[in-house]
Amino acid sequence: MNRSDPPAPAAPEVAAIGTTSSLPRGRVLLLFMVMLVTAAGNTAMQSVMPSIGTALKVEDFWISLAYTWSALLWMICAPMWARRSDKRGRKAMMGIGLLGFISSFSLCGLALYLGMHGWISGLVTLLVFALFRSLYGWFGSAAPPAVQAYVASRTSREQRTQALSLISSSFGLGTVLGPALAPLLIFPGLGLVSPFIAFALIALVVLIALRMRLPDDTPAYAAKGDVMAAPFSANSDSRSRHEESDDEEKLPGEVAKLSWRDPRLRPWLIAGLTGGHAQAAVMGIIGFLVLDRLGLRSDPTAGAGPTGLVLMAGALATLLAQWGLIPFLQLGPRASCLGGMGLALVGVALLSVASDLHTITLGLAIASMGFGLFRPGFTAGASLAVSRAEQGQSAGIVASVNGAAYIVAPALGVWLYGHSPWIGFGVIELLCVAVIVLGLKGMTPDEALVRRRI
């Protein structure tokens, strides 16, 4: 327990073996909102960027490519922030992530506003947009691994899949719900760039709540939360931390650096990277697909509404998967990955032939439900594959993999779609099949994954 934590609420968090089994609702809500807003920064503009690109007379491929530098920085910086959170605390890294989001979104909105009103050319607008967008990849990547490590270090192995599923659902919800809400936040005067300002203000509110309501933390895993925080207090546990058979925990400074090539993580990381590319490609294509299939290229402003409705259906399907199916069916990481990719195959196939709003919406909903099962499965699998002391590093690697999927997949997916929709969707289907094959051959069965080490 942190020295700043009040003793009374802390007691229910301690399980019989000294590990935490639950988090107070107030903290869960804060962590949920941090992830929601951070994820929204990655894709919230997807509802309006196709329309903005058309208004700027910029080709679709270059619009998608503008995200690449930010995604590359995310992949590089996420592990660095995760390691720093082991020393500086999770709360501090969450604050840095939110500040990165606020500054990036505000400046990106300003650049697009100047470009759409003729102050700068379309090419210069995209270059400046990419520059300001990189602030999100650089600093925004600090938040997700900090949140994941915060949760993982305070939940038991048996409950970690569902706990991370809840947090992952906030990330998945933000990934889809952000751009779905963006068209509803278009106000007179600012036009298509007004969602950027709106989301920046929302993030500012979350940052203030985080600073005021989440206790400061000192991530020393050897202390095991309440176990050694105050040895003579009423809330301390007299049993030795070595009674936990999970593994022997070490202070962050004593933990060896976790490698991407670690055999415990390898199948989960490969699956996460492959399936993440499939999801990123779908999300990169969907806005342009709506414009093309509904014949809205001549009126780009009209495309924001239908795209928002399609993505809202995807968001609801994601919530159904992560808040309903996973806990109700008690799906483990491997089952979530395999079942999710199977559903994604069906949804992407339907999208490839969709010609009206209803069919596009249904196709994305099925695909999103599949990806909604896959993402927490991959995240929990990577978490359960390593020790509790390695959770910060594992969370950073997972966040890095999530960012890596957005380096080339959206732009490449749009480029292939522009040449031939059949090729674009065919490649996405092959990626989904690859994850299923890997899951059947390489992923540890769920019953063995959650079993305690002895």
| pTM for the whole structure | 0.68
Give which of 99, 101, 95, 206 is closest to 150, Cα–Cα.
Answer: 95
How many residues are present in the chain? 454
How far apart, in whole angstroms, are the C-alpha atoms of residue 253 and residue 236? Answer: 24
Extended beta strands in 329-447, E state: none
How far apart, in whole angstroms, are the C-alpha atoms of residue 329 and residue 308? Answer: 30
On whether the CB atoms of residues 139 and 98 are closer than 8 A, the answer is no
User: In tens digits, what is the pLDDT along the chain, a chain of 454 residues?
Assistant: 343 444 333 333 333 333 344 667 787 788 889 888 877 776 677 778 888 888 888 888 888 787 777 778 877 887 788 778 777 788 889 999 999 999 999 999 999 999 988 899 888 998 899 899 888 888 988 888 888 778 777 766 666 666 666 776 676 677 667 777 777 788 888 888 888 998 999 999 999 999 888 877 655 443 232 222 222 233 333 333 333 334 444 444 556 677 667 778 888 889 889 999 999 899 889 988 998 898 888 777 777 788 878 888 887 888 888 778 888 888 888 888 999 999 999 999 999 999 999 999 999 999 999 998 998 888 888 878 777 777 777 777 777 787 777 788 888 898 999 889 999 999 999 999 999 998 888 887 777 776 644 3
How far apart, in whole angstroms, are the C-alpha atoms of residue 52 and residue 291? Answer: 12
Residue 378 tokens, joined: 């991959």
Placement of tokens 């509404």 in the chain: 305
- For the stretch 144-154, what's the b/e string if a residue is b when 16 or more beta carbons lie within 10 angstroms of its beta carbon? bbbbbbbbbbb
On whether the CB atoms of residues 149 and 82 are closer than 8 A, the answer is yes
Instruction: Name the DSSP letter for residue 262.
Output: -
